[in-house]
A and B are shown apart, each in its own frame.
Chain A
Amino acid sequence: MKQKFDIITSTCVPLPLENVDTDQIIPARFLKATDKKGFGENLFRDWRYDKQGNKIESFVLNDPTYGGQILVAGKNFGSGSSREHAAWAIADYGFRVVVSSFFADIHKNNELNNFVLPVVVSEAFLKELFDSIYANPKTEVVVNLPQQTITNKATGHSESFEINAYKKHCLINGLDDIDFLLGNKEKIEEYEASGKSC
């Protein structure tokens, strides 16, 4: 899971729907596992397969025209349930980056905690990116975390994106929050001694 992050250049998978909730990313019946493995198989399960388990050819993950490590989605991606299984499924499927104009808060954190980078772009950049991908599915996008930029190579247009300096450091160095928190137990004990907790 702790995959260091630097610069990623890849083609994209377009999913122009808005408000994609985590129940669609991974339906509840697949949440019964007690480990983190294999969730990619059921990513977007009910859009990807019919009731008999046959592939739904029209769904983008089943369309060989599109592929790559970057998922490009409509606004408000990852709303609803806090299930981190959604982030595990995205990572396990092979996506390293999700691009959208807006993310739900909990899911965004879950992606970051699994070394998947959520990149927030403007509505205009997103629309142009969808157009580029549909015009040429081989369109590549460059996501440069150190520089905090995303570039649509088809148009040459770039945008900068935000990420807090701490999380950026974690992604680039493959560190997680527990590594950080375990390193400052004294501060936690000091806080407890202050009597401010309930």
Chain B
Amino acid sequence: MAKTLFDKIWDAHVVQVVDGGPTQLYIDRLYCHEVTSPQAFEGLRDRGLKCFRPERIFCMPDHNTPTHDQDKPIEDPVSRDQVDTLARNAAEFGLTYFGMMDKRNGIIHVVGPERGLTLPGMTIVCGDSHTSTHGALGAVAFGIGTSEVEMVMASQCILQSRPKTMRITVEGALKPGVTAKDVALYMMSKMSTSGATGYFVEYAGSAIRSLTMEGRLTLCNLSIEMGARGGMVAPDEITFDYIKGREYSPKGEDWNKAVAYWKTLKSDDDAVFDKEVCFAAEDIAPMITYGTNPGMGMAITGRIPTTDGMDDAEKISFEKSLHYMGFQEGESLLGKPIDYVFLGACTNGRIEDFRAFAAIVKGRKKAEHVTAWLVPGSWMVDEQIRKEGLDKILNDAGFEIRQPGCSACLAMNDDKIPAGKYAVSTSNRNFEGRQGPGSRTLLASPLTAAAAAVTGCITDPRELM
């Protein structure tokens, strides 16, 4: 029977299907960060258990890490305790640990692919919804809760209902100034924040195939923002080129065998998806969000929708959202002054994102009233920035590069956007208070963030290209 890419990987990992219920799925990789793992380790201790397959578990702190002075102890004692707890747990349970200041440290969803830990055909989980990122390499990767983290630690398996499958096809060539981030924000604006709930998405079509590996990582990262369990792209030469030579990737004869297997990982021509959605690349413009969920986005040149035609329940939520953001229905955002710019996160904290940002700000100056936080996704990204001389371009334009971590994406460290301030952010969520209590987030691409950083207001990046 014809199978989708998802079916092939899922089926190869089924240990058993439980009577009247979920599938017991074998997990190849468990990634752990400090926020969603301590209670899972505690649970193992309470039950007197060890990790069943410690060699398959990789740990690193990222959410609480400060973006300066990482060589010193974390100032916030509660954050410090959570990070120290992960280090202690990793040592006690015999797990691989990339601590702060280790050159392999960074945001877990940036580090996994760049170290060659994430490979095609794998099942990957982490107590973090943006685990969907890893699907870009052709893996079945999804976020889970802490009880499920404990489950995987105890048995290297998880009980999950099999999701439905959806294929989102984007055909054509993306226009100049349109990035993978814009493609994702466009999809969310069309499908809403729950349009893919219950589904595992495969992205396909010529516009997706022509994305770089890093663009695919950005796209798959945002799958959860449409509600999807995960998103994936079939592995191809772009994927193999990206993986080859990375620290944990297969070498020698193992490499040849792996590639031969990976080449089978694509949906059969006659495979049937539960749902198919198609978009045209030419319809997509640089995007920006105006509301408090990632589905509330529009072309940067567009106008905020009006409540005409909304039902009462929808209207209450929509109006609450615009009130929080301080925007009016029907208005354009172009030219609105902004206060902060954040470049980083598991969504857009990779080298290509820094290249894009640098390309816009090169030869220009940061607007004086704007505070900009540029946070590489990992030390490896930081090293590459310096190798390419991007640090010089950014410094000349009045920007400084901070140390890696999740940072202002969810503001668990000190990088908090103050109440009422506007931030153009390359992260993934514009929820109320996400970047600090009262913060107002506008999600956009690194190009759009850079344009806002130098003009001090919401600007169509194509005007500066």
Residues of A within 8 A of B (CB): 16-19, 21, 23-24, 27-29, 31-36, 46, 51, 74-76, 79-84, 87, 102, 104-106, 109-110, 113-114, 127, 164-167, 169, 176-178, 180-182, 184-185, 187-188, 191-192, 196-198
Contact = CB atoms under 8 A, between A and B. Distances in A.
A32 B64 contact: yes
Nearest to B56: A197
B13 A196 contact: yes
Most buried by B among A34, A166, A169: A34
Contacts of B18: 166, 180
Given A27-B433, A177-B151, A181-B157, 17 more contacts: A16-B316, A17-B320, A24-B431, A34-B42, A81-B410, A82-B127, A84-B145, A102-B197, A104-B227, A164-B21, A165-B21, A166-B159, A167-B21, A178-B43, A178-B151, A181-B155, A198-B123
Most buried by B among A34, A80, A180, A198: A198
Contacts of A46: 432-433, 437
B161 A164 contact: yes
A34 B85 CA distance: 8
Contacts, number: 197
Contacts of B438: 51
A165 B151 contact: no
Contact of A181 (B24, B193, B419, B429): B24
Nearest to A165: B20
A16 B315 CA distance: 11
A71 to B, nearest CB: 16
Contacts of A196: 12-13, 26
B136 interface: no
B227 A35 contact: no
B70 interface: no
Interface stretch (B75-83, B235-243, B378-386, B388-396): B75-83
A105 B119 contact: no
Interface of B: 12-13, 15-16, 18-22, 24, 26, 28, 35-36, 38-39, 42-43, 47, 49, 52, 63-64, 78-79, 81-82, 85, 119, 121-123, 127-129, 131, 143-148, 150-151, 154-157, 159-161, 163, 193-194, 197-198, 224-225, 227, 229, 293, 295, 313-314, 316-317, 320, 410-412, 419, 429, 431-434, 437-438
Given A79-B227, A104-B227, A198-B121, A51 B35 contact: no
B343 to A, nearest CB: 20
A59 B16 CA distance: 46
A51 B437 contact: yes
A180 B42 CA distance: 19
Given A165-B19, A178-B47, A180-B159, A18 B317 contact: yes
A82 B128 contact: yes
Contact of A76 (B20, B47, B127, B193): B193
A104 B197 contact: yes
Most buried by A among B64, B85, B129, B432: B129
B156 A188 contact: yes
A84 B163 CA distance: 20
A79 B143 CA distance: 12
A110 to B, nearest CB: 4
Nearest to B228: A105
B144 A106 contact: yes
Contacts of B26: 188, 191-192, 196-197
B150 A178 contact: yes
Contacts of A21: 293, 429, 431
Contacts of B129: 80-82, 106
A106 B431 contact: no
Contact of A23 (B16, B148, B429): B429
Given A34-B39, A82-B145, A109-B148, A184 B16 contact: yes
B155 A102 contact: no
A185 B155 contact: yes
17 contacts: A21-B293, A24-B431, A28-B410, A29-B412, A35-B38, A51-B437, A80-B431, A82-B144, A83-B36, A105-B229, A106-B129, A109-B148, A164-B20, A185-B52, A192-B26, A196-B12, A198-B122
Contact of B151 (A102, A181, A185, A187): A181
A80 B438 CA distance: 18
A52 to B, nearest CB: 12
Closest 4 CB pairs of A and B: A166-B21, A165-B20, A84-B145, A34-B38
Nearest to B76: A32
